[in-house]
Amino acid sequence: MEWAGVEGQVARVRLTSGGGCGSGCGDKASQVTDAVREAVLAVAPELTAVEPLPSTPAPAFVPLTTLTHRGAR
C-alpha cells in the first residue's frame, strides 16, 4: 500500500499486489481494499472516505546497449 495523500476529507491510497496472482485475486482484492479502508478510517476519523487509486505499472527498462548495438545481419 502506498499513501497517495488526502484531498478534502478523502484519503487516497494506491494498493499494489504483493505476489500471488499478480493483478488482484478477485474477492481477495476487495477484502484488502475493505481492510485498508477500515484501518485508515479508524485512525483518522476526520476523513469521510478512502479511495483506492489504480496502481501504476513499473517503467520499462531497456538497456542502452540494446538500442545502440548493431548486430551482424
Summarised one tens digit per residue, pLDDT across range 12-30 is 998 876 554 545 455 677 8
Q: What is the pLDDT of residue 54?
A: 84
C-alpha distances in Å from residue 62, one per residue of 39, 59, 66, 68: 39, 10, 7, 11
| DSSP H or E stretch at residue 30 | helix 27-43
Residue 31 forms part of a structural domain: yes
Question: What count of Cα atoms within 13 Å lies in the side-chain half-sphere of residue 72?
Answer: 0
Q: What CA–CA distance (Å, rounded) separates 51 from 66?
A: 40
**Residue 39 pLDDT level (bands cut at 50, 70, 90):** very high
Residue 12 forms part of a structural domain: yes
Residue 73 forms part of a structural domain: no
Q: Provide the terminal-to-terminal Cα distance of the chain, rounded to the nearest Å.
A: 47
Q: What is the pLDDT of residue 29?
A: 74
Domain span including residue 8? 2-68
The structural domain count of the chain equals 1
**For a pLDDT cut of 90, what percent of the chain falls above it?**
38
| Residue type, position 22, single letter | G
Per the prediction, the chain carries an average pLDDT of 80
